[in-house]
Amino acid sequence: MEFNAIYVIVVREFKKFIRERSRLFSAIARPLLWLFIVGGGMSRIVPAGEGVSYIQFIFPGILGLTILFSSIFSSISIIWDKEFGFMKEILVAPVSRFSVVVGKATSGMIISTIQAVIVLGLFPFIGLQLSFVQFFSAVLICALLGFTIASFGILLASYYESYESFSVIMNFIVMPMFFLSGAMYPVKLLPSVLKIAAKANPLTYGIDALRNVILPMETGRMSSDFSIYSDVLIIIAIAVVFVFVGGKAFERKQ
């Protein structure tokens, strides 16, 4: 029963995504603009380090940007489901509220990972060389990060009833999450107060893990702020917390 509930939610959200082609286009166009326009301009004035260009340095951050926007905004469907009554039908079904959270987060993970893989496929155009193991590892990290960010968006959406109020708080949260994630510059260069905020940001660990995997071995270690093992463990722990708290929030709503 629980698996069937997750499966139905995932299939429903995936069908909606396929029908909204403009959503896929905007999700891909945004990282391309950041990568080639912002990255191309900043590469002339910002040194990235030995053996790597600035565009290559921010490439993992652009993947994180793709996942962030796609995953967290996939939770907007919860607001629509509330307004049109579909969420009420789910909540009265004899399934665990955690199944609802896991189903929604899984759908957000799949959609964001598809978009991230498309962007990841641009690596030859920026001078990177990735082996199959590196590419596959990056995809796994993208999926894990997508699930975590989607869970965070679902947790927030459980407290809002209107699209307008949710959009305001999303716009207030998303860009600070991106700029405090080490996507554009190393976390170690931030002031002490901002370092604390960056270490509380789940996107920080996802981008750092991608940087460890995608960049050349020595360069990746030098430009990363944490080890890849601690990155992955922290992301998993945060995902578990978001799913648990999100499930409890839906139980209260019932």
> Structural domain boundaries of the chain?
2-253
Radius of gyration of the chain from its Cα atoms, rounded to whole angstroms? 18
pLDDT over 50 (residue 220) = no
Closest by Cα among 210, 182, 212 to 197: 182
Q: How far apart are CA 192 and CA 76, in angstroms?
A: 34
Whole-angstrom Cα distance, residue 202 to residue 239?
9
Is residue 136's pLDDT more than 70? Answer: yes
Task: Please determine, for residue 189, whether its predicted confidence score (pLDDT) is greater than 90.
Answer: no
Residue of 30 and 139 predicted with greater confidence: 139
The helix/strand/coil state of 162 is coil
Mean pLDDT, rounded, for 230-234: 91
pLDDT, position 40:
65
Q: What is the pLDDT of residue 234?
A: 93
In the numeric block, the tokens 């071995």 are attached to 217
pLDDT digits 0-9 by tens, 46-96: 555 556 777 888 889 889 988 988 888 777 777 776 666 666 666 666 667
Alpha-carbon distance of 186 to 216, in angstroms, equals: 16
Q: Over 80: is that where the pLDDT of 114 sits?
A: yes
Q: Confidence class of residue 2 from pLDDT cuts 50, 70 and 90?
A: low
Say if residues 224 and 61 touch (Cβ distance below 8 Å). Answer: no
Query: How high is the pLDDT of residue 216?
Result: 64
Measured in whole angstroms, the distance separating CA 156 from the mean position of its chain's CA atoms is 15
Question: Of 109-113, 136-140, 187-191, where does the model show the most confidence?
Answer: 136-140
Residue 24 banded pLDDT, cuts 50, 70, 90: low
128-134 contacts: CB < 8 A, separation 24 or more?
128/56, 128/59, 128/214, 128/215, 130/214, 134/213, 134/214
Place of tokens 């019932």: 254
pLDDT of residue 49: 54
How many residues in total does the chain contain? 254
H or E segment at 163? helix 163-179
Residue 189 is given by DSSP the state G
Q: What's the N-to-C CA distance of the chain in angstroms? A: 19
pTM of the model: 0.85
How far, rounded to the nearest angstrom, does the alpha carbon of residue 55 sit from its chain's CA centroid?
Answer: 20
The Cα–Cα gap between 40 and 27 comes to 20
Whole-Å CA distances, 112 to 30, 69, 74, 103: 13, 8, 9, 14
Report pLDDT for 235: 94
